[in-house]
């Protein structure tokens, strides 16, 4: 991995998943290209014969095939391909791109060789077919962060053949200096599993590191845009928009410094694509631009890539308390002001991002959900405003009124981590109470460690009482309070009972006078966290929604104050 680059050598890194016919044509067109280069193909779990074809392929260039059984996303797997590449320059190519000018590899490498201040270059991309229609004549951006390709859908003109500075370039065809790629850390894998905008982010990191990007319009490639398929099955458009919010937040100052373009440069003409016959592809300007189905801020695929339950979701964690490991859930960022706790937590999760500021983490790392385990109202409010789903740890509910108001108005869902909420034993006890009634109750909840007994255990105890009795707790009166033990009398729906919170081996005992008793053993993953993950995947609202349990936390806050006062009483 990471071999010493060979001077002058180009490594073509091509990511493939199925679409064998496109891969076959792309590799055949590369065989006609001039210059010194090798080819690294990263096969992301193809199952259409691509694997067998690559194994038997005799290519005139040195060919390395890296086979993976799954598709974890373009950023990670392009990084894997780059790690074995030997070239001084890396040429990232999609497998639906064809070499149009045989000297394209040589010309791009010559640009980088001649100008040490360049970090990356890209060629002209044309649509396939008889008509010379521009697909991307370089990447452009405006000072306010609008991003798009230049010339899209327009007839090829002299202005598209120029060489000029650009603010970003697409990974469909992007040549990067290998040393620069390593220095800035490669592609940001938190954009996976559906890689959209990771190319813009890479280019911005190169520019932030002092390097320039150049568009080289004198050489061209043909791009069958819209054929790349990611098996994860997410709806691309909302992910594109979410990633664009991250890009604008992360790089607003860089976009303002230029090179900037006029808004007219980013205007593009909708086209109609017909790739039924790959030997005779047809792309034409849409007769009625108003009939374009796709949002024109998105490079839309021709295929609908939406399923009810995406297989992979991303979360960021504000605070260093551990969160459960759930298959298909990737922690892509951790934030905490304490570096001594932050870095081990980030390593434990394998998170590519570790920041000290929780709000900054939420603003700049793409994710579908946010787990807030530390008191950080600002980060939670930011997440809700951005439409993300939020799971609050009990300690994080420190500004209840603001959080509840934000949760009611925000497009995202906000719930509280009450890990015992769906415990089967509580459910069964609740059924027994519903059938026979309750004359009283006794709850004893023990757990080692923690910051404060009422903050850590009180919400779980009161939530259990409410779920078993089916009525809210209206009053809690503290009887005894020490650092390791809190006893209280509680009233719920006219039924009075006792609650005891203690330090010790984890145990939850709940008995109901006139009904039954239950000893609860904690499940490996809390019910509230499972609810949160289900919501990220398009499932029903969590039953521990902040709005639904706000009354409970009102009682907890009063209880906590009473305990604090009792502890200070001589």
Residue extents of the structural domains in the chain: 8-265, 281-288+313-337+366-414, 426-536
Write out the E strands in 405-494: 414-416, 440-446, 473-481, 485-492
Contacts of 524 by beta carbon, 8 Å cutoff, 6+ apart: 324
φ/ψ (deg, to 5) at 44: -90, 70
Strand-pairing partners, residue 285, are 271
Q: Which helix (H) or strand (E) holds 361?
A: helix 358-364
pLDDT value of residue 454? 93
pLDDT value of residue 299? 42
Dihedral of CA 227/231/237/243: which sign? Answer: negative
Eight-state DSSP code of residue 418? -
Query: CB of 310 within 8 A of CB of 363?
Result: no
The C-alpha atoms of residue 538 and residue 238 are separated, in whole angstroms, by 13
Eight-state DSSP code of residue 155? B
* Burial call 245-271: b when 16+ CB within 10 Å, e when fewer: bbbbbbbeebbeeeeebeeebbebbbb
Given a cut of 50, the residues of the chain with pLDDT beneath it are 229-233, 294-310
pLDDT value of residue 511? 94
Eight-state DSSP code of residue 133? B
pLDDT value of residue 475? 93
Neighbours of 44 (CB within 10 A): 23
Contacts of 564 by beta carbon, 8 Å cutoff, 6+ apart: none
Strand-pairing partners, residue 512, are 441
Query: CB of 118 within 8 A of CB of 177?
Result: yes
Model pTM? 0.77
Neighbours of 295 (CB within 10 A): 11
Does domain 8-265 fall under CATH 3.90.550.10? My reply is yes
For residue 17, CA distances in Å to 42, 45, 304 come to 9, 6, 17
> Which residue do the tokens 């209840």 mark?
400
> Which residue do the tokens 């609050």 mark?
392
Strand-pairing partners, residue 314, are 330
Query: CB of 174 within 8 A of CB of 198?
Result: no
Decide the pairing of beta strands 282-285 and 134-136.
unpaired
Q: Which helix (H) or strand (E) holds 43?
A: strand 37-44
The C-alpha atoms of residue 81 and residue 189 are separated, in whole angstroms, by 14
Structure tokens belonging to residue 125? 């991309």
**Of 124, 134, 148, whose CA–CA distance to 262 is shortest?**
148
Neighbours of 211 (CB within 10 A): 20
The C-alpha atoms of residue 468 and residue 482 are separated, in whole angstroms, by 27
Query: CB of 313 within 8 A of CB of 328?
Result: yes
Strand-pairing partners, residue 133, are 155
Structure tokens belonging to residue 483? 């650092």
pLDDT value of residue 569? 62
How many residues are there in the chain? 570
Question: What is the tens place of the pLDDT at every residue in 353-382?
Answer: 999 999 999 999 999 899 999 999 999 999
Query: CB of 384 within 8 A of CB of 405?
Result: no
> Which residue do the tokens 């892509």 mark?
332
For residue 70, give the 3-state DSSP assignment.
coil
**Of 57, 438, 13, whose CA–CA distance to 202 is shortest?**
13
For residue 389, CA distances in Å to 247, 313, 382 come to 19, 11, 11
Question: What is the tens place of the pLDDT at every residue in 141-156?
Answer: 887 777 889 999 999 9
**Of 412, 430, 410, whose CA–CA distance to 421 is shortest?**
430
pLDDT value of residue 205? 95
Query: CB of 320 within 8 A of CB of 342?
Result: yes
pLDDT value of residue 301? 33
Contacts of 266 by beta carbon, 8 Å cutoff, 6+ apart: 140, 142, 146, 147, 148, 149, 150
pLDDT value of residue 228? 54
For residue 502, CA distances in Å to 395, 459, 467, 483, 521 come to 17, 14, 21, 9, 16
φ/ψ (deg, to 5) at 279: -80, -25
Query: CB of 268 within 8 A of CB of 154?
Result: yes
């Amino acid at each position: 991995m990471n071999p010493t680059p060979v001077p002058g050598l180009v490594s073509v890194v091509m990511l493939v998943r199925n679409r064998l016919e496109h891969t076959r044509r792309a590799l055949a067109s590369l065989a006609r290209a001039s210059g010194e280069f090798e080819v690294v193909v990263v096969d992301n779990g193809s199952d259409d014969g691509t694997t067998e074809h690559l194994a038997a392929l005799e290519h005139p260039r040195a060919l390395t095939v890296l086979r993976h059984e799954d598709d974890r996303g373009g950023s990670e797997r392009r990084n894997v391909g780059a790690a074995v590449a030997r070239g001084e320059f890396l040429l990232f190519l999609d497998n639906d791109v064809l070499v149009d000018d045989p000297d394209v590899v040589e010309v791009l490498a010559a640009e980088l060789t001649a100008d040490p201040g360049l970090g990356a270059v890209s060629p002209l991309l044309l649509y396939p077919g008889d008509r010379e229609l521009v697909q991307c004549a370089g990447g452009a951006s405006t000072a306010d962060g609008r991003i798009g390709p230049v010339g899209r859908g327009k007839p090829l003109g002299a202005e598209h053949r120029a060489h000029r500075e650009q603010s970003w370039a697409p990974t469909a065809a992007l040549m990067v200096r290998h040393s620069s790629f390593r220095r800035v850390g490669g592609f940001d894998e938190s954009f996976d599993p559906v890689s959209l905008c990771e190319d813009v982010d890479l280019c911005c990191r190169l520019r932030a590191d002092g390097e320039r990007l150049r568009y080289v319009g004198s050489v061209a490639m043909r791009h069958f845009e819209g054929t790349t398929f990611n098996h994860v099955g997410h709806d691309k458009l909302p992910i594109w928009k979410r990633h664009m919010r991250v890009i604008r937040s992360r790089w607003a100052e860089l976009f303002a410094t230029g090179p900037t373009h006029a808004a007219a440069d980013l205007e593009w003409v909708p086209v109609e694509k017909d790739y039924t016959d790959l030997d005779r592809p047809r792309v034409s300007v849409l007769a009625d631009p108003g009939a374009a189905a796709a949002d024109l801020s998105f490079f839309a695929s021709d295929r609908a890539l939406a399923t009810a339950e995406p297989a992979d979701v991303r979360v960021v964690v504000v605070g260093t308390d551990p969160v459960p490991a759930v298959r298909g859930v990737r922690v892509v960022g951790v934030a905490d002001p304490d570096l001594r706790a932050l870095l081990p937590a980030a390593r434990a999760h394998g998170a590519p991002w570790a920041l000290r500021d929780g709000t900054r983490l939420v603003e700049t790392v793409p994710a579908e959900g946010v787990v807030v385990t530390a008191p950080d109202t600002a980060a939670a409010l930011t997440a809700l405003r951005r439409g993300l789903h939020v799971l609050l740890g009990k300690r994080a509910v420190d500004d209840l009124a603001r959080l509840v108001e934000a949760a009611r108005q925000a497009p995202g869902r906000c719930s509280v981590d009450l890990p015992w909420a769906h415990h089967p034993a509580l459910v069964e006890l609740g059924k027994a109470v519903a059938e026979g009634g309750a004359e009283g109750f006794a709850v004893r909840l023990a757990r080692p460690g923690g910051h404060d007994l009422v903050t850590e255990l009180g919400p779980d105890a009161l939530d259990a009482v409410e779920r078993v009795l089916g009525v809210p707790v209206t009053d809690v009166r503290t009887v005894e309070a020490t650092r390791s033990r809190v006893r209280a009398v509680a009233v719920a729906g006219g039924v009075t009972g006792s609650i005891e919170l203690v330090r010790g081996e984890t145990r939850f005992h709940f008995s109901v006078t006139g009904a039954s008793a239950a000893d609860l053993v904690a499940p490996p993953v809390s019910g509230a966290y499972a609810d949160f993950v289900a919501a990220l995947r398009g499932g029903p609202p969590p039953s521990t929604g902040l709005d639904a349990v706000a009354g409970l936390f009102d009682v907890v806050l009063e209880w906590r104050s009473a305990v604090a006062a009792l502890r200070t009483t001589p």
